[in-house]
């Protein structure tokens, strides 16, 4: 099955921000061959527009662009970023590498880069990011259960074990609260 035969929403998307047109076309062809959709933009302004419409599965960011510095852009998007980033540059320095890693870039590579190496890195970063996101989501669900249990215990303590009063304080029906108490195995005492 070719990339064009797949559901477009299921194809991992890569946003390449690099002002070198030939390099951009080569990366697009290679990533398409590997089963990815690659959008190539040549400026930070174009990258901003692209990110407003949809988050990519991966951002490949050049350091030196005509309208600004890639590290400054990485800092600009850091708060709302929900995708991995790796930085490419023809002007590699230790200071820039450290700065990129501090801004949570997943990797920092020096140009020229072999397309086979780039392809393996893209696959690895997207896979690792997706596994991490899945693990984080599972942890959140566990945490929500913990919060629910803590709120029930607190309401029962505040109501001195009166389930009806605790249910009202939680905005639940008495039977719904009894069900959760049983489900979670919460032990409480009534002072009544």
Which of 84-93, 124-133, 174-183: highest mean pLDDT?
A: 174-183
Domains of the chain: 3-113 (3.40.50.2300), 140-184 (1.10.10.60)
| Tally of CB atoms within 10 A around 153 | 16
Tokens of 18: 């690099």
| CA distances in angstroms from 186 to 139, 146, 155, 161, 190, listed in the order given | 21, 12, 12, 11, 13
pLDDT tens figures, 100-120: 777 777 777 888 888 998 899
Reply yes or no on whether the pLDDT at 70 is more than 80. yes
Residue linked to tokens 């030939």: 22
| Tally of CB atoms within 10 A around 135 | 10
pLDDT tens figures, 27-69: 999 999 999 999 999 999 999 999 988 888 889 999 889 999 8
């Amino acid at each position: 099955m070719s990339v064009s035969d797949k559901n477009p929403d299921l194809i991992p998307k890569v946003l390449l921000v690099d002002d070198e047109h030939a390099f951009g076309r080569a990366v697009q062809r290679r990533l398409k061959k590997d089963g990815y959709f690659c959008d190539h933009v040549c400026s930070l302004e174009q990258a901003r527009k692209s990110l407003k419409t949809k988050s990519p599965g991966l951002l490949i960011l050049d350091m030196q662009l005509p309208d600004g510095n890639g590290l400054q852009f990485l800092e600009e998007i850091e708060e709302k970023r929900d995708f991995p980033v790796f930085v490419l540059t023809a002007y590699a320095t230790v200071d820039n590498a450290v700065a990129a890693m501090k801004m949570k870039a997943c990797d920092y590579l020096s140009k020229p880069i072999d397309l086979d190496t780039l392809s393996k890195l893209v696959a690895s970063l997207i896979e690792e990011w997706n596994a991490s996101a899945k693990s984080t989501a599972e942890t959140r669900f566990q945490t929500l259960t913990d919060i629910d249990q803590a709120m029930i215990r607190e309401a029962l303590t505040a109501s001195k074990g009166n389930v009806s009063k605790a249910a009202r304080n939680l905005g639940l029906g008495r039977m719904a609260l009894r069900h959760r108490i049983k489900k979670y195995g919460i032990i409480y005492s009534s002072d009544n």
